[in-house]
Structure 1
Amino acid sequence: MSSPKKSALREASHQIIAGGSAGLVEICLMHPLDVVKTRFQIQRGTGDPNSYKGLGDCFRTVYRNEGIFGFYKGILPPIVAETPKRAVKFFCFEQYKKLLALTPLSPGVALTVAGLGSGLTEAVVVNPFEVVKVSLQANRDAFKEQPSSFAQARKVINAGGFGLNGLNRGLTSTLGRHGIFNMIYFGFYFNVKDAFPASQDPTLEFMRKFTIGLVSGTISSCVNIPWDVAKSRIQGPQPVPGEIKYKTCIQTMQLVYREEGYLALYKGLVPKIMRLGPGGAVMLLVYEYVSGWLGKNW
């Protein structure tokens, strides 16, 4: 019989491995849509001659000018960060869930608050990688001509250091983006999943979980996108080199709204939903199935 300490360590290992696996699968499948989403979010109005006219035009232009690998710009930072990022996401969610089970909160509210906590924790871990990723994704040169992820990271650090003007630029926006997303993502998925009975048919059970995960990722994406746009504007290239126009989360949202209108805060929504709708479902399913397999075999 294993000791409580060994059991807790094994459980934590399962959560970390399953979370890392979920993140890696999701990023490899969905990164091209993240590149397209970022390109739309850093566009400033329709007056820019380099603006994409629509989703199809963006895909065609990137492919024509930058090649197929243009859709994988900035993938190394999320791959390097994905295992610890998703491990933190799922591990913290499970730990916060345990802690909140000891409070008077109802199970549904506890799951939602646990999701918020896991998102805020995840944001702190991932933000430096997001700064490098967005700056690479904004680069419209051919893939082979752009700097490496490490060279770009050095450039960011040399220009602004490790603080809020450098490698942690846009941290408040990232906290808002991840906190809100995970609060809805986990809260909706687990509350709705528990409300519908499981099916004995493996195919129907897979479809039940996938559908709930898809809806969960879609709703979360729709609600948190203004924070995502603010993050991209702050972390991406500024309109005038050497002059910081987008500074803080709320200031950036207000500025985008004032200059470009309300809908500008929802730029990139379609590719974001295309990525995080099915991507959110994939992540939760991989996490649950890998975690279940590890529980049975290790």
Structure 2
Amino acid sequence: MSSASTAMSPKKINGKLNLFSHIKYEHMIAGISGGVTSTLILHPLDLIKIRFAVNDGRVAAPQYRGLGSAFVTIFRQEGIKGLYKGVTPNAWGSGSAWGFYFLFYNTIKGWIQGGNTTQALGPGLHMLAASEAGILTLLMTNPIWVVKTRLCLQYENNVDLTSTKNYRGMTDGLLKIYRTEGLRGLYSGFVPGMFGVSHGALQFMTYEEMKNGYNQYRKLPIDSKLTTSEYLTFAAVSKLIAAAATYPYQVIRTRLQDQHHSYKGTWDCIKQTYRFEGIVGFYKGLKPNLTRVVPACCITFLVYENVSHSMLSKRKKEEQ
């Protein structure tokens, strides 16, 4: 072995090419904190969005005139408990999804930057890092989202819990789906979920580019901490752009996960939705979705940014 390659080898092991050296658990804890906080506050809107999304007029399901009507009807018929059906897997799913996403995203981004957090990546690399993080996160969390969707679609107060299509809670749901439908059931909606990776990629790219551009305008390092209002503004704008551009995949994914519907696959679901409802069918539940996801994103990113900055600053001081 030449002296040049010998000198380069330790750098490769300890530097940019060692992906594991860029893992920082602080990003995961901060992501979990943000995801769980936003879910506990805004879960009723998520439940209403799901019920709007699956209502194609061909199955027996409650009818709501609008967002306010849905909220009042569910509260009257099912109580406060009804508004929080599926909250446990939603909190688990949202917390773990945001935790894994921020962990994977920042690990991949740190690896690309070679550990230099002040180095700007540009839109292309931001989207690449976000897409890879999204695929890894979806692989780990899809079963939780299936259970959450199905719990949200248990309309009655006194459902027959002996049925294989009704569930006592998250664990019961996971076990019943696995026993009756196997891994395929736990990963229903996975294909449109893969298309949903573009949602996260677009959102993170927009968010990062706005933050970086703003800090460069202020002549500060791109990883400088921002004010609460600045984080909220950038999070809201990036979420609105991503949600408007990619919403139809969420409708298809939710319908594939619904125990009251039966489709042969993703393409069959798309064809049936268009055949019976037209283009409008792909945007059902958009209003409650935007009403929920924009503040949810703002809360998640605000909690994440503050918790991660605090924990990483503490780590930096301990390492000095």
Scaled by the length of structure 2, the TM-score of the pair is 0.80
Aligned to 2:232: 210
Does 2:291 align with 1:269?
no
Aligned to 1:297: 314
Aligned to 1:185: 203
Change in CA separation of 1:121 and 1:147 when aligned onto 2, cut-off 3 Å: same
Deviation (angstroms), 1:117: 1.6
* Inter-partner Cα distance in structure 1 for 2:158 and 2:112: 46
CA deviation vs aligned residue, 1:151-206 (integer Å, no higher than 9, x gap) = 222221221012x2x111111122222x0221111100010122224889xxx821
Report 1:222-233 matches (<5 A). 222-233=244-255
* Inter-partner Cα distance in structure 2 for 1:84 and 1:53: 34
Report 1:1-298 matches (<5 A). 12-45=24-57, 50-101=62-113, 107-142=122-157, 147-162=168-183, 164=184, 166-177=185-196, 179-197=197-215, 205-239=227-261, 244=262, 246-298=263-315
Counterpart residue type for residue 50 of structure 1:
P
8 Å contact 1:189–1:216 — kept in the other structure? yes
Change in CA separation of 1:148 and 1:223 when aligned onto 2, cut-off 3 Å: same
* Inter-partner Cα distance in structure 2 for 1:23 and 1:288: 12
Q: Structure 2 regions of 5+ residues with no counterpart?
A: 1-13, 115-119, 161-166, 221-225, 316-320
Change in CA separation of 1:9 and 1:64 when aligned onto 2, cut-off 3 Å: farther
* Inter-partner Cα distance in structure 2 for 1:172 and 1:25: 28
Q: Structure 1 regions of 5+ residues with no counterpart?
A: none
Counterpart residue type for residue 174 of structure 1:
G
Further displaced range: 138-147 or 78-87: 138-147
8 Å contact 2:24–2:107 — kept in the other structure? no
Instruction: Give % identity.
Output: 26
Deviation (angstroms), 1:82: 3.6
* Inter-partner Cα distance in structure 2 for 1:217 and 1:30: 16
Further displaced range: 12-21 or 259-268: 12-21
Indicate the RMSD between aligned Cα atoms, in angstroms.
Answer: 2.8
Deviation (angstroms), 1:136: 0.6
Counterpart residue type for residue 290 of structure 2:
I
Deviation (angstroms), 1:286: 1.2
* Inter-partner Cα distance in structure 2 for 1:61 and 1:281: 28
